[in-house]
């Protein structure tokens, strides 16, 4: 019985120590250098997002001038998503500034992570936007795409059906196994 009380006391003591350590870690002061670095990087991400959207509008204008409906639709779709992500990143940056003013490192880091995810997705969309409408002028000669054909020397260049002849099957009429059915109306019994 005494052993049970001792085991319960040790378990309770471990629980109290774990809660105290967790509370101490939660109240640890935020590193101002880290917050400032995240603010600077977050601002750089938002500025780069503005440039991406601006470049996207230029692409949309070029697509409209070329009167390529498919390209206009593709660019417009990617640009619309990028504009939404830019607004989201701007809001997250404002929240990050508020967290930094309160010296809340966890909150600032959370907002920074959201901004970086938004930036990464926008970079993917920028690549999609630049790929809209087929090959670019850089990969074309006289307006036609340049295609380089490379054949592996290990692959044989013989015709795979060479040497095969048409097989003519010999079809014989089978004898009927039924006493009631005779092919052609004549039964051989």
Q: Which one, of 47, 127, 40, 37, lies nearest residue 90 by Cα?
A: 47
Quote the CA–CA distance of 149 and 145 in Å, as a whole number.
13
Is the pTM higher than 0.75? Answer: no
Give the domains, in start order, of the chain with CATH numbers.
34-135 (1.20.120)
Element (H, E) at 54: helix 32-66
Tell me how far CA of residue 32 lies from CA of 29, 103, 147, in angstroms.
Answer: 9, 8, 55
Q: Which one, of 102, 103, 136, 99, lies nearest residue 114 by Cα?
A: 99
Per-residue model confidence as pLDDT tens digits over 16-60: 566 665 554 444 455 677 888 889 999 999 999 999 999 999 988
Collapsing DSSP to helix, strand or coil, 144 comes out as strand
Average pLDDT, the chain: 78
CB 96 within 8 A of CB 90: no
């Amino acid at each position: 019985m005494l052993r049970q009380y001792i085991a319960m006391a040790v378990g309770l003591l471990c629980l109290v120590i774990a809660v105290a350590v967790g509370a101490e870690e939660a109240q640890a002061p935020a590193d101002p250098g880290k917050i400032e670095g995240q603010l600077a990087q977050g601002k750089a991400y938002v500025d780069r997002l503005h440039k991406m959207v601006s470049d996207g509008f230029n692409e949309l204008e070029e697509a409209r001038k070329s009167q390529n409906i498919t390209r206009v639709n593709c660019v417009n779709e990617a640009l619309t998503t990028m504009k939404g992500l830019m607004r989201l990143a701007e809001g997250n940056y404002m929240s990050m500034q508020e967290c930094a003013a309160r010296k809340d490192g966890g909150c600032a880091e959370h907002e920074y992570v959201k901004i970086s995810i938004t930036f990464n997705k926008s970079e993917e969309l920028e690549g999609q936007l630049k790929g809209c409408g087929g090959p670019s002028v850089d990969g074309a000669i006289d307006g036609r795409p340049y295609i380089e054909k490379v054949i592996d020397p290990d692959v044989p260049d013989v015709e795979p059906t060479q040497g095969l002849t048409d097989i003519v099957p010999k079809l014989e009429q089978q004898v009927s196994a039924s006493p009631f059915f005779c092919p052609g109306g004549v039964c051989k019994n």
